[in-house]
Amino acid sequence: MRRPIIAGNWKMHKTIAEARQLAEALKKQQGEPRAEIVLCPPFTALAAVAAIIKDSPIALGAQNMHWEEQGAFTGEVSPAMLKDVGCAYVIVGHSERRQYFGETDEQVNVKAKAALTHGLIPIVCVGETLAQREAGETEAIVAAQTRGALAGLTAEAVAGLVIAYEPVWAIGTGKTASDDDAQQVIADIRATVAAEFGKSAAEALRIQYGGSVKAANAASLLSRPDIDGALVGGASLKAGDFQGIIDGAQ
């Protein structure tokens, strides 16, 4: 049985002091959660959060990385650096990275490979825009993104990573895909993975939903058979809101 994974993407929020406060509050609320919990603070707060969640059931993740181990890449952070600071996970290909920084499926692919090489678990993001959904292109777009992001990986590697389906039109808008829509697209992603990498890899792979997930809709979404967790944005910035989503996975 796949263990649910709830990841909080803090995006460009929280000073070090604020990050410490939020991490402390979340740590205090955890007993032995059924779901795996991942916090993805900004780079500046990674070390501070790592120190707080050490010896707790909470894992550390980063929001992005470069694919090279080192070099003249001003402003970038390498997978080796993330591993060194205590990260277990890294988000790659988030829609905001694609939209604002022009990231391509090919770049997401090399980032995923680099993460795996350095012992990080990539959370690979895929999802369609509103125009693509209205044109009936969701299945084709998401399948193409999935194949592109995972190209050249082994079935074993794919089985151990995480995919996050995040419809672009639902991110930060308050709009959420219906439970049925989210389940259908995620089932399609699993079918795409099965066709490319085999049934065993597809059944082991965890696939999250991301897009205005809140405590009020988490339990319903996470009860669907193919939805293995949530990639949470705004609702991860307050301990009570995020804990409500974690509780929805119990």
The residue-averaged pLDDT of 11-21 equals: 99
239 is a domain residue: no
Judged on CB neighbours under 10 Å (0-12, 13-18, 19+), 146 is buried
179 is a domain residue: no
HSE-CB of 12 using CA atoms within 13 angstroms: 2
Q: Is 75 a residue whose pLDDT tops 90? A: yes
101 is a domain residue: yes
Is 200 annotated to bind a ligand? Reply is no
Tens digits of per-residue pLDDT, 79-130?
999 999 999 999 999 999 999 999 999 999 999 999 999 999 999 999 999 8
- Average pLDDT of the chain? 96
Contacts of 166 (CB under 8 A, 6+ apart): 94, 95, 125, 126, 127, 209, 210, 211, 231
Tens digits of per-residue pLDDT, 80-93?
999 999 999 999 99
Is 244 annotated to bind a ligand? Reply is no
Which residue range(s) make up the domain with 13? 5-131+140-174+186-234
Q: What CATH number did the domain enclosing 97 receive?
A: 3.20.20.70
Is 109 annotated to bind a ligand? Reply is no
Is 169 annotated to bind a ligand? Reply is no
79 is a domain residue: yes
Q: Is 204 a residue whose pLDDT tops 80? A: yes
Tens digits of per-residue pLDDT, 153-181?
999 999 999 999 999 888 777 777 899 99
Is 10 annotated to bind a ligand? Reply is yes
Q: Among the options 94, 96, 118, 128, which is catalytic?
A: 94
Our answer to whether residue 94 is catalytic in this structure is: yes
243 is a domain residue: no
**Residue 19 pLDDT grade (very low, low, confident, very high; cuts 50, 70, 90):** very high
Structure confidence at residue 169 (pLDDT):
83
pTM: 0.96
Q: Among the options 36, 96, 103, 166, which is catalytic?
A: 166
181 is a domain residue: no
Look at the chain and report how many structural domains it folds into.
1
